[in-house]
Copies of this chain bind each other. A is one copy, B any other.
């Protein structure tokens, strides 16, 4: 089944399987504080504001959009801090980075939510997010076959949506 292999130039950072010792229903903010404390990192106002803005997202977002959201809420946060915090949020198992194109990274919240996979219309650019138990089961099966311990996955299907089909006629 496996056919060949190589080494990646850049190992992508992957969010934790689940916040390590997270209790059910624990506020995500508390999860983050605990994570930061465990790493001798500090819970700053900037990090609190970013986490807040992140948790308001109910679908894919990028760093730019996050900074804009914060600006709209009256908070001024530098891009650098946004990127740095997104990294911590990933390490804390709160957000996941998604690679949909070669231009930039996207993020989605995973803590306390189901992760998504994506249908991307190449005619309209529209992204449909869906969550599938079958995908999760297949991922387990594939990993079992290869002795792999899964942490995260990404599935994107590129194609043409019903609207895209109309548009291109």
Contact = CB atoms under 8 A, between A and B. Distances in A.
Contacts of A6: 59-60, 126-127
A156 B143 CA distance: 11
A76 to B, nearest CB: 23
Interface residues of A, number: 66
A41 interface: no
A129 B162 contact: no
A134 B141 contact: yes
Given A130-B146, A143-B119, A153-B156, A125 B14 contact: no
Nearest to A101: B12
A146 B128 contact: yes
How many chain copies does the complex carry? 2
Nearest to A165: B149
Nearest to A103: B10
A3 B131 contact: yes
A147 B161 contact: yes
Nearest to A154: B156
Contact of A157 (B9, B129, B132, B139): B139
Contacts of A122: 11-14, 151
A156 to B, nearest CB: 5
Contacts of A99: 99-102
A151 B131 CA distance: 20
B160 A149 contact: yes
A104 interface: yes
Contact of A134 (B101, B138, B147, B151): B138
Given A102-B99, A130-B142, A131-B1, A157 B147 contact: no
Nearest to A3: B129
